[in-house]
A and B are shown apart, each in its own frame.
Chain A
Amino acid sequence: MTVIDPARLVEMANQIGDFFAPYPEQRRIEGVRNHLRNYWDPRMRSDLLAYVANGNEGELASHVLAATRLLQTEADERSAYAGPPRVEH
């Protein structure tokens, strides 16, 4: 059972993707990745990853798909950061 309906997750992820779309390549992808990492419940992230891995890659915009793949790595998400500040104090 997924925590919420995967269709809803895809819709939300693509909507986030729309915002970052105008950025240059790397910032566009990392922007989406950072947003998902900082704002999404981990179960939503893993459900989205599982759903996409299950042959549904085509439902995500390409840079959003790229971002979900980055989520799986432990890279420093602050590089080329285009989203709101993660930690500022």
Chain B
Amino acid sequence: MPIPVKPDQSTITTCAYCGVGCGFKAETSGGQIVRMTPWKEGKANHGHSCVKGRFAFDYYRHPDRVRSPMIRVSIEDPWREVSWDEAFAHAAGELKRIQETYGSGSVGAVSSSRCTNEEIYLMQKFARVGLRNNNIDNCSRICHSPTQFGLSATLGAGAASQHFDSILRSDVILVVGANPTEGHPVFGSMMKRSVRRGANLLVIDPRRTETVDSPHCRASVHLALRPGTNVLVLDSIAHVVVTERLYDEAFVRARCDWDDFELWMSQVGDVRYSPDVVGPEAGLEPDAIRELARRYAAGPNSTIYYGLGVTEHSQGSTGVMCLGNLAMACGMIGREGVGVNPLRGQGNVQGGSCLGSWPHMFTGYRFVTDAATRAVFENEWKIDLDGEPGLRLPNMFDAAVAGSFKGLYIQGEDPVQSDPNRHHVEAALRNMECVIVQDLYETETTKFAHVLLPGSSSLEKNGTFTNAERRVSMVRKIVEPVAGLEDWEITVGMINAMGYELKYDHPSEVLDEIARTSPAYSGMSFELIERVGSVQWPCNTAAPEGTEVLHTVTFPRGKGSFMLTEYVPTKERVDDRFPLLLTTGRILSQYNAGTQTRRTANNAWYDDDVLDISADDAAQRGLRNGDRVRVASRYGETELSITVSGRVHPGVVYTTFHFAHTMVNAVTSDLNDWATNCPEYKVTAVEVTKVTKVTKVTKVTEVTS
């Protein structure tokens, strides 16, 4: 019969894919999800969706799911299925043994932005009360850690200043290093809607992306800069603003530190940042830089949206500061239609940043070195806390290679595929004595694990996510977790096994604890979110239902601070051996490391990473569309097929990193951001050569071994 199954139940939840955080209705029939439909009342998506959230949900019932806890002594051994209790006891026992042998600081944990706020909070609590150190990091280390750093430094809050709807009030939209229509599709649709209504779109991106040019949405200025010259170009834009006196002096005098502003003006106002000097170095027309600066400054309401094209550089944090400076200088902050907004990659990257999963910070971006903050948590947890920062994830790997770091509890992460310098990460993991991985599937990283804890997908648990606009929304359990425990219960089990006893009956109690200890969340509760649908932090007595637009009256740090943003060229340079610059990104139908989307029918659109190369560069190398090529850098090499594309300029090649076997992170550089160690994924000097049959066979063997 052609009559469709009618769902018997519908539950509102939040999509776990990207940082847009769309509200969905999970419709079930007989306990099975039959479809996901976008929730009209979802304040992030207003009833819209993308191919991932709307359709790509089958991953949760894929045969590859890990269905039981497993342990093994050596990574050469086969897995042995065990009970949860045995797994917890074994894992905790190993961590304690390592600490006794190598010291308290020899173990750590890393949390996942695909987990809920409550789960991320429990992971940092695990490190602090279970491991008794600050060796806790989160996966935004490799994506948006510079956002938190750079925006905190300038504006005082490491988060988007606006809500998504705000873009409909913008006259000018500046997109820097982001491709919303692919990476944040539902927000991208909103952006296009704003452009169709007359907003002027400005794009800074090395590629001619879909955002630059698509039907009825075209950038009026596109600065296709050479990868790695972000700070140079942004300083040049600031130069135009300063030298042409396009800044909003009244705003700066009222809201910002004037002395720092003058210091900043003297720096960016220098002739070394004039478009005539910068243009040739960045591969841009000087007048295009001027045009973009003038349009942005003219507003009346200009807004900035940016992505990993800003952060994933050795000057990632500096680049973010450039954006904060620019917005303050032009008075484009503190009302609807303006602002500075990071587009977050994963569903809960903002939550990952907010909830204290940092080696140097507690929840709400408060330093562990601050005794008063420590006292709040010591009082809540009834335990003495370490007052010194711990190791960051890359430093944990460095320390593991050096032999001083031996145990790691990884929640829902696949650093072997997604972290920089794959060989270094593998060496680090090999050097550890206990690697605990909590994940939905076996991954590249679980090959190095000793304990495998079956994670629960976002369809299998209760909690909250915080999206890229600081919006905290409800995640609801639609189906039972495959191995019986939700992720937060697993971490609670680990904490208890470490010897610190605690008990929560429901994740709402964890959010209550976050509210008790964190000023920006002080008004937050499941009850409130249930009542109003979703809540943007800060949520407190002054803003009992949350805050849509930040910085309307003052900045959290008081006066806005102009930071000096000297351009320091990356050490990664092209030369005769590696004459091309490789930059990376993502595509609509696949998601990050692809662990979920690769297990859905989304492969129909994109079933492998490909390398985009300009026609010039392809011709020089005798390459044609579809050819297999070897991509080699100073760090490693891999093989990909090419697409000859008009979207990249000569000298630039581009790929995605959705597929494990392509090992793009074996090629990318191991340089990273000066402030946060966020990897420089966006700039790697490479050479591309056609694969001969012999090498191809060799490579395939290597990959499958």
Within the complex, are A and B direct neighbours (CB within 8 Å)?
yes
A35 touches B675 (CB 8 A): yes
B148 (CB) vs chain A CBs: closest residue? A84
The answer to whether A87 has its CB under 8 Å from any CB of chain B is: yes
Q: List the B side residues contacting A50 at CB < 8 Å.
A: none
B370-412 interface bits toward A, Cβ cutoff 8 Å, 1 = contact, 0 = none: 1011000000000000001111000100110111110000000
Q: Per a CB cutoff under 8 Å, which of A4, A12, A24, A39 touches B402?
A: A4
Contact size class for A?
Answer: 20 to 34
A18 touches B568 (CB 8 A): yes
Q: Which of B288-346 contact A (CB under 8 A)?
A: 314-315, 317-318
Q: Per a CB cutoff under 8 Å, which of B149, B395, B401, B566 touches A18?
A: B566
The answer to whether A69 has its CB under 8 Å from any CB of chain B is: no
Q: List the A side residues contacting B566 at CB < 8 Å.
A: 18-19, 21-22
Cα–Cα, bound, A26→B402 (Å): 34
A1-22 interface bits toward B, Cβ cutoff 8 Å, 1 = contact, 0 = none: 1111100100010011011011
B267 touches A22 (CB 8 A): yes
A88 (CB) vs chain B CBs: closest residue? B557
A38 touches B366 (CB 8 A): no
Q: Per a CB cutoff under 8 Å, which of A2, A35, A88 touches B556?
A: A88
**Total residue contacts A-B, CB cutoff 8 A:** 96
A85 touches B402 (CB 8 A): no
B390 touches A41 (CB 8 A): yes
A37 touches B369 (CB 8 A): yes
B149 touches A89 (CB 8 A): no
B153 touches A4 (CB 8 A): no
A2 touches B404 (CB 8 A): yes
Q: Per a CB cutoff under 8 Å, which of A5, A12, A21, A41 touches B391?
A: A41
Cα–Cα, bound, A39→B390 (Å): 8
The answer to whether B60 has its CB under 8 Å from any CB of chain A is: no
A28-41 interface bits toward B, Cβ cutoff 8 Å, 1 = contact, 0 = none: 00000001011111
A19 touches B675 (CB 8 A): yes
A41 touches B557 (CB 8 A): no
A51-86 interface bits toward B, Cβ cutoff 8 Å, 1 = contact, 0 = none: 000000000000000000000000000000011111
A3 touches B364 (CB 8 A): no
B390 touches A85 (CB 8 A): no
B105 touches A41 (CB 8 A): yes
B519 touches A89 (CB 8 A): yes
Given the interface contacts A2-B402, A3-B404, does A38 sit within 8 Å of B568 by beta carbon? Answer: no
The answer to whether B152 has its CB under 8 Å from any CB of chain A is: yes
Cα–Cα, bound, A8→B405 (Å): 16
The answer to whether B367 has its CB under 8 Å from any CB of chain A is: yes
What is the CB-to-nearest-CB distance from A40 to chain B, in angstroms, rounded to a whole number? 6
Q: List the B side residues contacting A41 at CB < 8 Å.
A: 105, 134-135, 359, 388-391, 395
A4 touches B395 (CB 8 A): yes
What is the CB-to-nearest-CB distance from A59 to chain B, in angstroms, rounded to a whole number? 16
B674-696 interface bits toward A, Cβ cutoff 8 Å, 1 = contact, 0 = none: 11010000000000000000000
The answer to whether B360 has its CB under 8 Å from any CB of chain A is: yes
B153 touches A83 (CB 8 A): yes
Cα–Cα, bound, A2→B149 (Å): 27
Given the interface contacts A1-B404, A19-B675, A44-B395, does A87 sit within 8 Å of B367 by beta carbon? Answer: yes
Cα–Cα, bound, A19→B263 (Å): 15
What is the CB-to-nearest-CB distance from B356 to chain A, in angstroms, rounded to a whole number? 13
B360 touches A1 (CB 8 A): no
The secondary structure that dominates the A interface is loop
Given the interface contacts A16-B675, A41-B359, A44-B395, does A88 sit within 8 Å of B404 by beta carbon? Answer: no
The answer to whether B564 has its CB under 8 Å from any CB of chain A is: yes
What is the CB-to-nearest-CB distance from B313 to chain A, in angstroms, rounded to a whole number? 12
What is the CB-to-nearest-CB distance from B397 to chain A, in angstroms, rounded to a whole number? 9
Contact size class for B?
Answer: 35 or more
Q: Which of B539-571 contact A (CB under 8 A)?
A: 556-557, 563-564, 566, 568
Q: Per a CB cutoff under 8 Å, which of B134, B149, B404 touches A4?
A: B404
Q: Per a CB cutoff under 8 Å, which of B315, B388, B519, B557 touches A85?
A: B557
Given the interface contacts A40-B389, A84-B153, does A4 sit within 8 Å of B564 by beta carbon? Answer: no
Cα–Cα, bound, A75→B370 (Å): 15
Q: List the A side residues contacting B369 at CB < 8 Å.
A: 37-38, 86
B376 (CB) vs chain A CBs: closest residue? A89
A3 touches B568 (CB 8 A): no
A42 touches B674 (CB 8 A): no
B152 touches A85 (CB 8 A): yes
The answer to whether B19 has its CB under 8 Å from any CB of chain A is: no
Q: List the B side residues contacting A35 at CB < 8 Å.
A: 675
B373 touches A87 (CB 8 A): yes
What is the CB-to-nearest-CB distance from A10 to chain B, in angstroms, rounded to a whole number? 13
Q: Per a CB cutoff under 8 Å, which of B105, B153, B401, B677 touches A43?
A: B105
Q: List the A side residues contacting B391 at CB < 8 Å.
A: 3, 41, 44
Q: Per a CB cutoff under 8 Å, which of A16, A18, A24, A86 touches B370?
A: A86
A86 touches B367 (CB 8 A): yes
What is the CB-to-nearest-CB distance from A8 to chain B, in angstroms, rounded to a whole number? 6
Cα–Cα, bound, A27→B401 (Å): 35
Q: List the A side residues contacting B563 at CB < 8 Å.
A: 82
B389 touches A38 (CB 8 A): yes
B135 (CB) vs chain A CBs: closest residue? A41
Cα–Cα, bound, A18→B571 (Å): 12
Cα–Cα, bound, A43→B396 (Å): 12
Q: List the A side residues contacting B675 at CB < 8 Å.
A: 16, 19, 35, 39
Q: List the B side residues contacting A38 at CB < 8 Å.
A: 360, 367, 369, 389
Most chain B CB neighbours (cut-off 10 Å) among A16, A24, A38, A84: A84
The answer to whether B23 has its CB under 8 Å from any CB of chain A is: no
Q: Which of B559-595 contact A (CB under 8 A)?
A: 563-564, 566, 568
The answer to whether B420 has its CB under 8 Å from any CB of chain A is: no
Given the interface contacts A19-B675, A86-B367, does A1 sit within 8 Å of B318 by beta carbon? Answer: no
The answer to whether B156 has its CB under 8 Å from any CB of chain A is: yes
B674 touches A4 (CB 8 A): no
Cα–Cα, bound, A69→B263 (Å): 26
Cα–Cα, bound, A24→B263 (Å): 9
Interface residues of B (CB under 8 A from A): 105, 134-135, 149, 152-153, 156, 263, 267, 314-315, 317-318, 359-360, 364-367, 369-370, 372-373, 388-391, 395, 398-399, 401-405, 519, 556-557, 563-564, 566, 568, 674-675, 677
Listed by A's residue number, 15 A-B pairs whose Cβ atoms lie within 8 Å are: A1-B403, A3-B105, A3-B402, A4-B398, A4-B399, A8-B398, A18-B568, A41-B388, A41-B391, A44-B391, A44-B395, A83-B153, A86-B367, A86-B369, A89-B366
**Extra pairs beyond A41-B105, A88-B156 (20, CB < 8 Å):** A2-B402, A3-B105, A3-B404, A8-B398, A18-B566, A19-B317, A19-B318, A19-B568, A19-B674, A22-B564, A38-B369, A38-B389, A39-B675, A42-B389, A43-B105, A83-B153, A85-B557, A89-B364, A89-B365, A89-B519
